[in-house]
Structure 1
Amino acid sequence: MTDASFAKGAPAPLSGQPFSGRRRKGLRITAEDGLGLAVILALGLLVLAPMGAVLVQAVAPGAFTGQLRGFGLWGLLEILERPLWRRALWNSLFLATVAAVLGGLMGAGLAILRHNGRLALGPALDVAAWAIIILPSFILAQGWILFASRGGLANQWFGLGFVPDLVFNPWGLAVVMALKSFPFAYLTTSAALQWRMEDFIHAARLNGAGPLRVLWSVRLPMVLPAVLSGAVLIFIDVLGDFGLPAALATTYRFPTLTYAIYVAINQSPIRFDLAGVMAFYVTAIMLVAVVAYFRVLRSRRYDFLGAKARMGGTGPVNRALLPNVLALAALTLALVIPIGSSVIVSFTDRIALGIGTDNLTLRHYAYVLETGGAFLRALQSSMWIAAQAAVGAGIIAAAAAYVVTFSGFRLNRLIDLTCTLSLAVPGVVLGIGYIFIWNAPLVDRAGLSLYGHPFILVLAGIAGAVPIAVRVLLGAMAQVPATMLQAAALQGAGLARRILTVVVPLVAAALVSATLTAFGSAMFDLAITSILRPPRLDVLPVYVNRAFEQGQFGAATAATLLAGGLTVLIIAAISAASRRLLRRLIPTDAGKG
């Protein structure tokens, strides 16, 4: 493109051509291409290599442990010959399928109630949905165990002897997982209901359709893609969940694939080959679910918005009894019972002593805060690891989002696909992949082995947080006009200066949010820390889970609440400080013409 074309107002692509305005010749590498290659290298090491190692290990057992036993699919059939692993496969499929159906219906139903007028408890549902997604599943699972077990609050305090049998069976656990994961369907359906086409609903009613017929034949088909998306997300989340089986280990025998992977690498002798096979099944099932979802979406059209579309959720507050009672019941089951049970137990001397002021105590908090105690060491280690992972994830995600948004880098689709697929990779699979890569004999001989070193937890934390951080930043960068960067380039600003002086100030708030989200997720990642933790390193999730397994319920809940409260305070303080700093560095002239 010539300078004359710039004068005529022709757009200047940021990556397809150098900013000097001369045509790109041959295979000339621009600065954006160099940044894209760096992103590909980082994602390759953090995500693609571990995922590839899991797939290779399934067809070539021992390939990464120096004990290669040949090539073939016979290793995949071994899971069918072992009753425990076969049972784990069936349990995982059962939990994920039932939870996807129940959670999808629950989330979609609550979203429709929420946006059918202004539901009085609607804001509480919104906050609770995000809180449940952010909270680690093992904490919610522990809360349900404290409430519903034989020695739990429901039986000991309230005399509800039927609750243990109601919860601790396959169907009850599926309901618990649906309560943990329904926010995925709730949020996706809520997003689809932001706009409404009342003309279709009015037409159906004029033709004699009742409320249920309108819901089934008009409202649900309009939001079917969102409902399916939520159900698939629930299926993926439950299939890869490690928190529930880890919490259940001492209460109810219900093996799943993720927990079987953990057992395989923590038994004697260690069976990396079986762990790799089970990790392959988890990944393969998730990919099948994603492919099936896309095939359903492509089977017909779902575009229905027109010029008469109106914003949903407007009008007077809906204080009708039934929808608000249903919303309150969902809030109670999904959040109040598990979190409330943990809070109560943390202040209770002994659950068996029942309700009474003489049973209240602070000794559990005093125990975990004991100077030089394991909790403080675990908290310090987890915060340091999470801080490094958050910074690394923020930098890589920002670079990836910039390349995808503002460049014509030839491998942009690979970057986007990697970040999308890695959202579906559970922590146990990622952890197994890291063991294969960073404990391989070739890597060890080169002196690059990280297995058993705390830094491997940082890398795994970055890998787990990058996909989410990229999604946050892509939305923010999409709002930045490319012409701003073109103008800076014409003034001689290089890539680094354009990013630091144009992009970063405009997306600073989103960058801070993405980094803090990565910090919070890395703090409580039980799956990765359980698999990759060096033997002598205390980390918070393992400390809490071990205390719970040993029956120290008061200490486990006190540690969870202290660490969770401190994490929230840190995130809130950094967020507030960053907003104040941004207002000072980037003053606004509100009110000036």
Structure 2
Amino acid sequence: MVRLRVRSIALPLTISPSPTKRRSRPGSPTARSTRASWPRSALRFGALTCEDAMTDLTRGGPAGLAASPARIGFGRRLRLKAEDGLGMLVVLALIVLVLGPMATVLVQAFWPGMFTRQMAEPGFSGLLEVFSRPLWQRSLTNSLFLAAVSAVAGGLLGTVLAVLRHSTRMALGPALDIASWAIIVLPSFILAQGWILFASRGGIANQWLGWSIVPDMVFNPWGLAAVMSLKAFPFAYLTVSAAMQWRMDDFSHAAKLCGASPLRVLATIQIPMLVPAVLSGAILIFIDVLGDFGLPAALATTYRFPTLTYAIYVAINQSPIRFDLAGVLAFYVTGIMLLAVMAYFWILRNRRYDFLGGKAQLRGAPGGPRSKWSDAIALVALGLAIVVPLGSSVLVSFTRSLSQGLAPANLTLEHYGYVLQTGGAFLSALGNSMGIAVAAALASGVLAAMAAYVVTFSDFRLNRLIDLTCTLSLAVPGVVLGIGYIFVWNSPALDDLGLALYGKPVILVLAGTAGAVPIAVRVLLGAMAQVPASMLSAAAMQGAGLARRLATIVVPIIAAALVSATLTAFGSAVFDLAINSILRPPRLDVLPVYVNRAFEQGMFGAATAATLVAGGTTILVIVGVRALSGMLIRRLFGATTKS
């Protein structure tokens, strides 16, 4: 037994020669190249020098060192002392941002007015009140209908497109991939406004093209479900595409040898293998549509179709304000979503879907001639999902009046001049939304990085709670989260202490952070898994504290993913209509509310021009920051490699 003393830390090492694996001596070409590939932080702490010294003593190299139980126990004890505090900080932040507001929504349903000054007796009367009010009952029915039909239709469309994309050679395959992500990122109220401009009685289809049947086709429950299916089908497309990464051709070959036609092979073998992915896509669509606020908000002045989310908005904007009823409706939205997720897990537990075997192969690019039918189907889907709504918005932004068509005299730039005028409400709203989005993005990036680090590199006892909170909060609609924030930050207890934040801009930052953290955590968990734990242990053995290890090892390695997560949060926070409509202070102009109000007032040109200017500005900021950060990261790692 040999003891190596590193800064007064005695570490027992077992000598176990290994003739098959030898590590290069310090100073050799191999050692120099290996050292050059490590981040500068590891070299600064002397991690390689310490490890080389232990390797020389053991003659067993890294493999023998990693097998030492004493080292494993030492590294774990060393991490837990520092990471426990960081884990508690993450849990407290999630309680304030997510768990606390959601808990108030659940309690409010059984004890109306508990967190407001409208205190009532506890019981189930509030839950049953929704069935005695025609408007709320209709809202519940409409939401369930819209979500269920969209889940079936959108799931079917996404599955068909994914199967065609990975089974046939398509010219529009890459465009379909890019458009799917773009549709998910685009706010639903912008796409809904585009459809209204196209399909309304005074819209493009009726006024310019003479298609008088289009308004009746779109503005009915089934037409709205079709519109929402076009908005949500990318969830099914992406999940099924991911499931088709691997292929098992043995089953298909056996069926063909038995005389099965290609269509029968597809229906009885290939599609059943994709059942988990198809169900996942359908559940995601159901949750997304059920919690959507953009479509009913855009339809408010054109077609009366109340939903649960819009009923919540009406409850807190009527006189008198009914926070208790808003809490009950939010409880129904959350409860229905949880039931949908539980049903999904129940279906998966009752059957086995582990069909991959040793002969599974990665699916390559489809061969053969290009399929014209596949490209035609993809073209129609892309045209209806993104070209029609966005194209309508672009056309309207350059015309004085929809009734005059595309005549040269009707073309104008006055809408852009109106929104860009100095001192106008649009520039104020855009500046406020950008500032709030920047603060929310930075806060969500920091919190997500801490949460991903704790979950990946520590044995913190509440890791399951962190992971579960970040997963379930993905399904929490912005309207429900906003109601929870009202209950928390407008409660009489905090108001008496002077801590009530309702009606102040900072509450928008907190809500934006809460909405962005779950996505940012998912992005960073994959990047965090690439960080070698041996680097952190070696740095800790050299005396580096938690903050120094994070700043000099973890952050440089995950820098690209951290930038992506932060920019994603920024883009989503700029156009978050639900959060801004519910929590916006009365005298604060914000971009989503400005656009929606202009649309409600019939200022379609100004609304579309504001949307395009704000969207273009947001894209420029994201592209610029990504390019600048990429250049800095390459320069940093280039300098590290050369050193």
Identify the TM-score tier after normalising by the shorter chain: over 0.9
DSSP-derived class of the 2:114 partner:
coil
**1-side partners of 2:607 and 2:71: how far apart?**
52
Q: Give the letter aligned to residue 571 of structure 1.
A: I
Q: Pick closer, same or farther for the CA change 1:209–1:485 going to 2, 3 Å.
A: same
State the match for 1:223 in structure 2: 274
Find the aligned partners of 2:492 and 2:366 in 1 and give their Cα distance: 66
1:3 deviates by: 3.6
Answering whether residue 290 of structure 2 is matched by residue 239 of structure 1, we say yes
**CA–CA distance in structure 2, aligned partners of residues 466 and 268 of structure 1:** 34
1:299 to 337, 344, 350: 350
Q: CA deviation at 1:317?
A: 6.6
Alignment match of 1:483 (pick from 524, 530, 534) = 534
1:76-95 equivalence runs, <5 A:
76-95=127-146
Partner AA of 1:156 in structure 2: Q
Q: Which residue of 1 aligns with 2:13?
A: 4
TM-superposed CA distance for 1:69, in Å, is 1.1
Q: 1:34 to 1:15 in 2, by over 3 A?
A: farther
In structure 2, what is the Cα distance between the partners aligned to 1:513 and 1:87?
Answer: 41
Correspondence for 2:174 among 123, 129, 136 = 123
Structure index of larger Rg: 2
Q: Which deviates more, 113-122 or 246-255?
A: 113-122
Output the TM-score relative to the length of structure 1. Answer: 0.96
1:132-531 correspondence to structure 2 within 5 Å: 132-316=183-367, 318-531=369-582
Whole-angstrom CA distance in 2 between matches of 1:343 and 1:183:
23
Per-residue displacement from partner, 1:516-568 (whole Å, max 9, x unpaired)? 00000000000000000000000000000000000000000000000000000
Paired residues for 1:27-106 under 5 Å: 30-106=81-157
Cα 1:14–1:201 shift into 2, 3 Å = farther
Name the CA shift for 1:15/1:58 in 2 (closer, same or farther; >3 Å). Answer: farther
Q: 1:50 to 1:17 in 2, by over 3 A?
A: farther
State the Cα deviation string for residues 441-479 of structure 1 (Å, max 9, x = none): 000111110000000000000000000000000011112
Change in Cα spacing, 1:294 to 1:410, as seen in structure 2 (3 Å) is: same
Bigger mean CA deviation after superposition, 200-209 or 564-573? 200-209
Query: What do residues 266-296 of structure 1 show as CA deviations (whole Å, max 9, x unaligned)?
Result: 0000000100000000000000111111111
Find the aligned partners of 1:193 and 1:223 in 2 and give their Cα distance.
8
For the 8 Å contact 1:389–1:462, the answer to whether it is kept is: yes
Question: By how many angstroms is 1:318 displaced?
Answer: 4.9
CA distance in 1, matches of 2:496, 2:140: 36
Alignment gaps of 5+ in structure 2: 1-9, 15-53, 59-63
Give 2:436's aligned amino acid: I
1:117, 1:313 within 8 Å by CA — same for their partners in 2? no
| Corresponding residue SS for 2:259 | coil
Q: Give the direction of change, closer, same or farther, for the CA distance of 1:357–1:16 in structure 2 (3 Å limit).
A: farther
- SS at 1:301's partner residue? coil
Residues 286-309 of structure 1, C-alpha deviations (whole Å, 9 max, x = no match):
001111111111112212222322
CA contact (8 A) 1:15 1:33 kept: no
CA deviation after TM superposition for structure 1 residue 23, in Å:
8.6
- In the alignment, the residues of structure 2 paired with residue 494 and residue 3 of structure 1 have an alpha-carbon distance, to the nearest angstrom, of 22
User: Aligned pair in 2 of structure 1 residues 233, 14: CA closer, same or farther (>3 Å)?
Assistant: farther
2:613 maps to amino acid: L
Aligned match of 2:24: none
When normalised by structure 2's length, the TM-score is: 0.89
Encode CA deviations 1:490-518: one digit per residue, 9 max, x unaligned: 22211111111111111110000000000
* Deviation larger for 386-395 or 356-365: 356-365
- 1:553 counterpart residue number: 604
CA distance in 1, matches of 2:180, 2:519: 17
* Separation (CA, whole Å) in 1 of partners of 2:449 and 2:573: 18
* Number of equivalences: 586
Which residue identity lines up with residue 9 of structure 1 in the other structure? Answer: L
Is this contact kept in 2: 1:13–1:407, CA < 8 A? no
Quote the Cα distance in structure 2 between the aligned partners of 1:67 and 1:559. 39
Partner SS for 1:366: helix
**Structure-2 change in CA distance of 1:267 and 1:83 (3 Å):** same
Distance change >3 Å, CA 88–CA 23, structure 1 → 2: closer
CA distance in 2, matches of 1:217, 1:489: 56
Structure 2 Cα separation of the partners of residues 253 and 278 of structure 1: 19
Moved more, 216-225 or 310-319: 310-319
- Offset, 1:418: 0.3
Deviations 1:108-146 (A, max 9, x none): 110000001432111000000000000000000000000
More deviation, 458-467/316-325: 316-325
CA separation in 1, counterparts of 2:513 and 2:422? Answer: 31
8 Å contact 1:529–1:539 — kept in the other structure? yes
Q: Give me the whole-angstrom Cα distance separating, in 2, the residues matched to 1:18 and 1:373.
A: 62
Find the residue that maps to 1:119 and give its secondary structure.
coil
C-alpha displacement at 1:589, in angstroms? 9.4
State percent identity of aligned pairs: 70
Please give the alpha-carbon distance, in whole angstroms, between the structure 2 residues aligned to 1:334 and 1:175: 10
Amino acid at match of 2:339: V
- Aligned 8 A contact 2:78 2:540 in 1: no
Quick check: 1:50–1:436 contact (8 Å CA) kept in 2? yes
CA distance in 1, matches of 2:71, 2:496: 40
Quick check: 1:75–1:277 contact (8 Å CA) kept in 2? yes
Paired residue secondary structure (2:130): helix
Q: Find the aligned partners of 2:67 and 2:280 in 1 and give their Cα distance.
A: 36
Q: Bigger CA drift: 510-519 or 2-11?
A: 2-11
Q: Residue 110 of structure 2 contacts residue 122 of structure 2 at CA under 8 Å; is this kept in 1? A: yes
Counterpart amino acid of 2:251? F
Q: CA RMSD in A?
A: 1.9
Structure 1 contact 16–407 (Cα < 8 Å) conserved: no
